[in-house]
Structure 1
């Protein structure tokens, strides 16, 4: 039986920095706009340029779509709270945001593993790569992380939502993050945290182990390639993905395993939800000649050159 008595939660967000609320609103709003423009541009570019109709770019555009959803699940509510006197969110709305944001974060981890598998297959089995990576295969590999992400987070979300919340209702964060919500549970928190930690290990470390395995296989294959130029070309196709993996995992580790102090938690959460989605398209654009060439041609067409 649901013993919940709390009807709404209150975000503390950046209330201790009240004098900087407007400044934070402007900076975060600008960052959100940049994030939208960059990631939408990547999606459109991959869609309209035939030269980018390959599995690798299909997964890159999927990652950009995912980044859009992750940011949009959190930032609009944060912006509204920064300029509004009412910083509340309903109980159902809070757990809906929690479920969507955590599911998308989990999906991102599995998608990065799929992208590593794609690079591994391209380098170690170049002759069979196009045969194996058909349109249906790419669609299935892109859909799998979404299914795993949402199914994985469903159990801890439902379990936590059915626990007793009858005391404090102030969330020391700017969105419905599981850790500060669990601090508000009036009943025994042990089982909820045990389930959450078990799911977190599966959702983050399992994809990370897969990524390490794929790249270990890739490195072995690259070392066998004759000629420095060929080795560099093979590794350059993976370097952007490696940088993105490091960015996302480092930001996520600080959010979930970093200092429990509220301000540190919020700062690193901002990095994860705003800064990383801005940097990812830039990394893929500026480190990839095909993307830069396609973007230049598309820009030239629209500018009338």
Structure 2
């Protein structure tokens, strides 16, 4: 189904306006350059800004300006309602982003998660694979069992879930899934390792059978064909500090009894700067399986 949006003053907006709005709905907050790279890489940034100005004039998107002129774009309430009218859109309605939230401290985390997604989009374009602007979703919650002293179940919330389709030379296709954990060095490293260990809890969490012929199986199998790997991406400090933090987090994970008993939970860690500059297929990751060897994200 072809959907168009219209600026009442100047008529229909360019067709790319709808994909841009879909990305803003899914990713909450994007810079001008992120939007340009996702949706109009074959145009000039001037053209991208022109489209965004028209969306702003139509009151479908709003912008926040930070020191240095960085533009941060997000949907207005009217824009959110327009996107929700797309019948094929599976995504649930997101909480409205306000101007204060767009300029608040959490923007750094959101924009960094989107940079992770962009790095995979670049790699897919260069290799003839599939990883588009909607290939990752933020804050994916998973129940992992009863919380001590609470009535509601405990949840593990991944910062994002990313899907990557690799097209092989022989015509076959493989799908790769990753839970993204974006660490800006704002929590103690042992707390970071403890969160990573909760993926082992998710792997084993099983719902009781609902009937006499129902066999219990882990809850994650209802959502995923295979258990996604965990990609830890570190940023927010200088390189020596981040490399120490990565080494410490991996060392703590390697001694965690939950993780050592669950080898199916595969954890790899890289620096965001390396992911952006060198791409995910370069040997930029260290894994809990073999931390002495740097590997690409799909290396065995």
- Relative to the length of structure 2, the TM-score reads 0.26
Q: Which has the higher contact order (CA 8 A, sep 6+)?
A: 1
TM-score by length of 1: 0.26
